[in-house]
Chain A
Amino acid sequence: MDDEALRELHRRREAAERMGGAEAVAAWHAQGRLTARERIAAFVDPGSFQELGKLAGAGRYDAQGRYLDFTPSNSVMGRGEVDGRPLMVVADDFTIRGGSSEAAVAEKWIYAERMALEFRMPLVRLVDSAGGSVKLLARSGRTKLPGYPLWPSTALMGAVPVLSAAFGSCAGLGAVRAIAAHFSVMVRGQAQVFAAGPPVVKQGLGLDVDKEALGGADLCTRVSGAILNAADDERAALAQLRRVLSYLPGHAWEAPPRAANDDDPGRREPALDTAIPANRRRVYAARPIAEAICDRGSLFELAPDFGASLRTYLARLDGHAVGFMINDPAQSGGALTRAAAQKLERFVDLCDSFHLPVVHLVDQPGVMIGPEAERAGTLIAAARAGAAIEQASVPWVSVVLRRAYGVGGSMLGPWSGPHGTSLNHRFAWPSARWGSIPIEGGVAAAHKREIEAAGDPDAKRRELEAYYEHLGSPFRTAEAFGVVDIIEPAETRPLLCRWVRDAVRLTQLQPAPKRRTLR
Chain B
Amino acid sequence: MSTLLRSPATGTVWQFAARLDEPLAAGTVALYVESMKMEIPATLPRAGRIKAWLVREGDAVEEGQPLAELG
Give me the interface of A with B, judged by CB distance under 8 Å. Answer: 280-283, 329-335, 365-366, 368-370, 372-373, 438, 440-441
A281 engages B38 (CB within 8 Å): yes
Identify which of A281, A283, A329, A332 contacts B10 (C-beta below 8 A): A332
User: What CA separation (Å) do A394 and B24 show in the bound complex?
Assistant: 47
Contact assessment for B10 and A365 in the assembled complex, using a CB-CB cutoff below 8 Å: no
Q: Are B36 and A281 in contact (CB under 8 A)?
A: no
Q: Which residue of B lies closest to A441 (CB)?
A: B37
Contacts A283-B41, A372-B62 hold; do A330 and B8 have CB atoms under 8 A apart? yes
| Contact, CB under 8 Å: B37 / A332 | no
* B36, A283: Cβ atoms closer than 8 Å: no
**Are B9 and A283 in contact, CB atoms less than 8 angstroms apart?**
no
Q: What 7 pairs between A and B have smallest CB-CB spacing?
A: A333-B36, A333-B38, A365-B36, A332-B9, A281-B39, A333-B35, A335-B36
Q: Which residues of B contact A329 (CB under 8 A)?
A: 38, 40
Known: A331-B8, A332-B9. A283 touches B38 (CB 8 A): yes
Chain A residues whose CB sits within 8 angstroms of the CB of B63 once the complex forms: 332, 372
Task: Kindly list chain A residues whose C-beta atoms are within 8 Å of the C-beta of B34.
Answer: 281
Q: List 21 A-B contacts (CB under 8 A).
A: A280-B37, A281-B38, A283-B39, A283-B41, A329-B38, A329-B40, A330-B40, A330-B41, A332-B10, A332-B35, A333-B9, A333-B40, A334-B36, A334-B38, A365-B36, A365-B38, A366-B36, A373-B10, A438-B37, A440-B37, A441-B37
Extra pairs beyond A281-B38, A368-B36, A369-B36 (8, CB < 8 Å): A281-B34, A330-B40, A331-B40, A332-B35, A332-B40, A333-B38, A334-B38, A365-B36
Instruction: Give chain B nearest CB distance to A81 CB in angstroms.
Output: 40
- Known contacts A370-B10, A372-B10, A333 near B37 by CB under 8 Å: yes
- By beta carbon, the residue of chain A nearest B42 is A330
In the assembled complex, the CB of A236 is this many whole angstroms from the nearest CB of chain B, namely 20
- Bound-state CA distance A332–B35 (Å) is 7
Residues of A within 8 A of B9 (CB): 331-333
Interface residues of B (CB under 8 A from A): 8-11, 34-41, 62-63
Alpha-carbon distance A329/B11, docked complex (angstroms): 14
Bound complex: CA of A345 vs CA of B36, how far in Å?
22
Name the CB-closest residue of A to B34: A281
For residue B31, give the distance in angstroms from its CB to the closest CB of chain A: 14
Which of B11, B35, B62 has the largest count of A CB atoms less than 10 A from its CB? B35
Q: Is the interface of A mostly helix, strand, loop or mixed?
A: loop
Chain B residues with CB under 8 A of A280: 37
Min Cβ gap A334→B in Å is 7
CB <8 Å contact, B37 and A281: yes
CB contacts (< 8 Å) of B41 on chain A: these are 283, 330
Contacts of A282 in B (CB 8 A): 38-39
Chain B residues whose C-beta falls within 8 Å of the C-beta of A330 in the assembled complex: 8, 40-41
Which B residues are CB-close (under 8 A) to A372? 10, 62-63
Nearest Cβ on chain A to B63's Cβ, whole angstroms: 7
Complex CA gap A368/B11 in Å reads 11
The complex places the Cα of A438 from the Cα of B8 at a distance, in Å, of: 22
Neighbouring B residues of A366 by C-beta, 8 Å: 36
Q: How far is the CA of A487 from the CA of B10 in the complex (A)?
A: 33
Instruction: Look across to chain A and name the residue whose beta carbon is closest to the beta carbon of B62.
Output: A372
How far does the Cβ of B38 sit from chain A's closest Cβ, in whole Å?
A: 4
Contacts of A441 in B (CB 8 A): 37
CB distance from B30 to the nearest CB of A (A): 14
CA of A369 to CA of B8, assembled, Å: 15
Instruction: Compute how far the CA of A292 lies from the CA of B42 in the bound complex, rounded to whole angstroms.
Output: 25
Using Cβ atoms and an 8 Å threshold, which residues of chain B touch A373?
10
Q: Chain B's nearest CB lies how many Å from the CB of A337? A: 9
CA distance A334 to B8 in the complex (A): 11
Interface centre among B11, B36, B39, B40 (most CB of A within 10 A): B36
State A329–B37 Cα separation when bound (angstroms): 11
